[in-house]
């Protein structure tokens, strides 16, 4: 009888490993620092789709990782809060900054933006991680939840 090989024969066990990306050392101290740092990550897709990223920071606010959490469409993206918190713990950073773009060019946060920020803040508080800001970016400007008193 002939044996048929399966993918399992070749792949074995799949192991997911979270590694910090190799980024140039960059300290983030202001919302403008965030905008200047993250803009190149959005440049090609800024006007076409919404993306939600998480910047992971060391204890002295140096960038250690940028997590591409979700990619959406022109009017939104899905943010899975348990996955956000799980990834924060796996990457083992001291603080995070949430970032997403608005392809419409409007800088005003939606109620959904505010609600998800508050939920992630509660989760971060529970696990001892600092949520430092949530930044909304467009091609020319940015909106900071901290600068506007929402966080």
CATH number at residue 69: 3.40.140.10
pLDDT digits (tens, 9 = 90+) for 104-150: 889 999 999 999 999 999 999 999 999 999 999 999 999 999 999 99
Domains contained in the chain, number: 1
- Residue 1 belongs to some domain of the structure: no
Could you list the residue range(s) of the whole structural domain that residue 71 is in?
Answer: 26-144
The pLDDT of 81-103, averaged and rounded, is: 92
- Residue 16 belongs to some domain of the structure: no
- Residue 99 belongs to some domain of the structure: yes
- Residue 111 belongs to some domain of the structure: yes
Whether 54 has a pLDDT exceeding 60, the answer reads: yes
Residues 50, 72: Cα–Cα separation, whole Å:
5
What pLDDT score does 47 carry? Answer: 82
């Amino acid at each position: 009888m002939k044996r048929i090989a399966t993918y399992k024969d070749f792949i074995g066990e799949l192991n997911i490993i979270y590694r910090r990306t190799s980024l140039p050392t960059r300290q983030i101290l202001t919302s403008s620092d965030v905008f200047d740092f993250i803009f190149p990550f959005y440049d090609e897709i800024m006007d076409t789709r919404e993306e939600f990223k998480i910047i992971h920071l060391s204890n002295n606010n140096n960038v250690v990782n940028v997590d591409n959490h979700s990619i959406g469409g022109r009017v939104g993206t899905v943010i899975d809060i348990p996955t956000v918190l799980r990834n924060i713990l796996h990457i083992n950073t001291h603080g995070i900054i949430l970032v997403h773009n608005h392809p419409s060019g409007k800088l005003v946060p939606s109620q959904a933006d505010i609600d998800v920020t508050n939920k992630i803040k509660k989760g971060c508080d529970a696990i001892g991680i600092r949520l430092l800001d949530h930044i909304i970016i467009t091609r020319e400007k940015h909106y900071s939840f901290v600068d506007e008193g929402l966080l």
